């Protein structure tokens, strides 16, 4: 696996969970990382821990991905600090699970705003710089819920399915400029975000998984690490499932 020496990476939702694992992996492989998160204090502690453990520069950036001005400000901050952007990982996400008859307009808008519009906002802001340098790697973190649907998650599944369409359309749009755009679709991963649902369905999820276990945050990070590497330079518009075989297409 090639190294990412001095590549500049932004990881949204990077302060914890899957995002933190991705940021740590990219830094270990040589990248300099912006840990972008709505929780600036947690992002700062995560960035410091990554810098201490890897010896790479890692800084915190505050962002509300659902707000286009905030996403642009985060990208501007990255360029001011590092001079460019090479890698964008659109990982920030949230859930508000419920049956459709109980999902409020606010909970629908919140989930779609962060999970789908957030990727649009950050990609729109970052792609200008990538196009100028004729190089970039964008990886969107979707979900098996976006591939197969999940009862009680019409908002979340819609946002993640939309993210797959967004990935494919953007890949076609920016491919001629040397930018690849791919998605990673994790299965059930134990994180703070999934703790409530896993408490109810963990045993069943494991039974549905041919490899017989849940994914780890590191499993997802390794997939991202591959897609931003030189070895994946001819892969774009694809969805890589990291789910132990739960959903096969």
Catalytic residue numbers read 156
Q: What is the DSSP letter of 56?
A: S
H-assigned helices in the chain: 17-28, 40-54, 68-82, 105-112, 118-133, 144-148, 154-174, 195-207, 217-227
Closest CA to 162 of 223, 236, 239: 239
Residue holding tokens 């001005």?
69
Closest CA to 95 of 79, 71, 117, 111: 111
Closest CA to 27 of 59, 61, 54: 54
CA–CA distance, 241 with 249 (Å, rounded to integer): 9
């Amino acid at each position: 696996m090639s190294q990412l020496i001095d590549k500049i990476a932004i990881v949204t939702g990077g302060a914890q969970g899957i995002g933190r694992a991705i940021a740590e992996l990219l830094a270990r492989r040589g990248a300099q990382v912006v840990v972008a998160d709505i929780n600036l204090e947690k992002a700062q502690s995560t960035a410091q821990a990554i810098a201490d453990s890897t010896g790479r520069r890692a800084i915190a950036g505050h962002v509300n991905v659902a707000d286009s001005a905030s996403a642009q400000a985060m990208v501007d901050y990255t360029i001011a600090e590092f001079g460019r952007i090479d890698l964008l990982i659109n990982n920030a996400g949230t859930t508000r699970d419920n049956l459709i008859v109980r999902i409020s307009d606010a909970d629908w808008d919140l989930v779609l705003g962060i999970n789908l519009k957030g990727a649009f906002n950050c990609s729109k802001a970052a792609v200008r710089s990538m196009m100028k340098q004729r190089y970039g790697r964008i990886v969107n973190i979707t979900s098996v819920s976006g591939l197969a649907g999940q009862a009680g998650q019409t908002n979340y599944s819609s946002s993640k399915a939309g993210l797959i369409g967004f990935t494919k359309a953007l890949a076609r749009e920016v491919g001629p400029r040397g930018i690849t755009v791919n998605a990673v679709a994790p299965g059930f991963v134990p994180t703070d975000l999934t703790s409530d649902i896993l408490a109810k369905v963990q045993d069943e999820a494991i039974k549905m998984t041919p490899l017989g276990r849940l994914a780890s945050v590191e499993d997802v990070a390794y997939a991202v690490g591959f897609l931003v590497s030189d070895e994946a330079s001819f892969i774009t518009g694809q969805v890589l499932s990291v789910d132990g075989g739960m959903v096969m297409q």
